[in-house]
Amino acid sequence: MSARLSLRRRLRERGLDAVTLLVLPAVVTVLALFVYPFLYGLMLSFQPKEGGALANYAKFFSDPFLYNTIGITLWIAIPATLLNVVLSIPVALRVRLMRSQRLLTTILVIPITLGTVMVAEGLLTYLGPRGWLNRTLLFFALTDSPVRLVHNYWGVMLSLVITGFPFTFLLTLSYVTGIDKSLEQAGAMLGARARQRFTRILLPLLAPGLAITLALAFVQAFTVFPSAILLGAPAGPTRVISIVAYQAAFEQYDYPLASAIAMLMAGVQVVIIVALLAARTLVFRGPASTGKG
């Protein structure tokens, strides 16, 4: 009896007691919906329809029509991510000083709630050859022929900015508002001009948050699918890796190959995210304020 009691006590001292059981539903959900499918997909990718265990991967990397999609996707995802994050910094710095912050934030968040398909449909009609934009440009004779902004690289890019920006903006805003305003004032008192205050005080303190924002924004952009098809040229310049995975799975019914492609997608994302987070450790990671409040 005493041994049992002391075990229970030892567990409690490590933070384990009956309340700990409350994590079970979450653990089960994660195991069932994430870990199991992932491991299943990983195993499946090593069981190709023909050939050895690595045949799917060998096939992917021997066919430029397949392996080029990694480059194509990165060529869309990286600029879109950088654009969104870089753009979000000045906007967040400005919005933080505004009074009607909520209204603006609500307006910016609407694209997230609309979803990519809706945004894509809107852009198709608005930017298309007979859309408002081109009609206006033609009417004022600013251009001779309609500007092509959809069914190519730029269409996908625009859609990624429209749906991705609110997301990065909200994250950046929360990091920016976490920086004590008196730090900038202290910088100004010590002779630092706006530019120096930004590069020497704000940016270093923002860097860890920006690394996280970049990582999350990149994952979103790298897995672009609906807008690549609807707004892009899915057979050419915007044949992103998720389209190839989709075709393997639902057009060729080659689940093992689709799994292998999915694993490669995950691999590319992990490499980029690890690189970002590693870069984060090179800069300051402590709290963005000091002193006893």
Partner 1 sequence: MAILSRDFRALRLDRVRHDFGQMHALRDVTLTVQRGEFVALLGPSGCGKSTALNCIAGLLQPTGGEIWLDEQRIDGIGPEDRGFGMVFQNYALFPHMTVRRNIGFGLVTQRRPKPEIARRVEEALALVRLSEHGHKLPGQLSGGQQQRVAIARAIVVAPPLVLMDEPLSNLDAKLRLEMRAEIRRIHAMLGSATIYVTHDQEEALSLADRIVVLIDGKPRQIGTPEELYTRPADPDVAEFMGYRNLVTSPAEAFDGGVAVRVAGARLSGTPMAAVDASAVVAIRPDDLHPTSDGPIEATVEIAEYHGRDFYAVARGAGGTELFFRSAVRVRAGEAVRLNATQERVLVYPAAATS
Query: Which residues would be at the binding site for partner 1 (CB under 8 A)?
Result: 180, 182-183, 185-193, 196, 200-201, 204-205, 283-284, 286-293
Q: How far is the CB of 35 from partner 1 (least distance, A)?
A: 37
Q: How far is the CB of 208 from partner 1 (least distance, A)?
A: 10
In the bound state with partner 1, the residue whose beta carbon lies nearer, of 206 and 229, is 206
Q: How far is the CB of 187 from partner 1 (least distance, A)?
A: 7
In the bound state with partner 1, the residue whose beta carbon lies nearer, of 142 and 186, is 186
In the bound state with partner 1, the residue whose beta carbon lies nearer, of 183 and 276, is 183
Q: How far is the CB of 203 from partner 1 (least distance, A)?
A: 10
Q: Please report the DSSP string for the chain in residue order.
A: -HHHHHHHHHHHHTT-SGGGGGGHHHHHHHIIIIIHHHHHHHHHHTS-SSSSTTHHHHHHHH-HHHHHHHHHHHHHHHHHHHHHHHHHHHHHHHHTT-S-HHHHHHHHHHHHHH-HHHHHHHHHHHHSTTSHHHHHHHHTTS-SS----SSSHHHHHHHHHHHHHHHHHHHHHHHHHTS-HHHHHHHHHTT--HHHIIIIIIHHHHHHHHHHHHHHHHHHHHT--HHHHHTS-TTTTT--HHHHHHHHHHTS--HHHHHHHHHHHHHHHHHHHHHHHHHHHTS--S-S--S--
In the bound state with partner 1, the residue whose beta carbon lies nearer, of 147 and 188, is 188
In the bound state with partner 1, the residue whose beta carbon lies nearer, of 145 and 290, is 290
Q: How far is the CB of 286 from partner 1 (least distance, A)?
A: 5
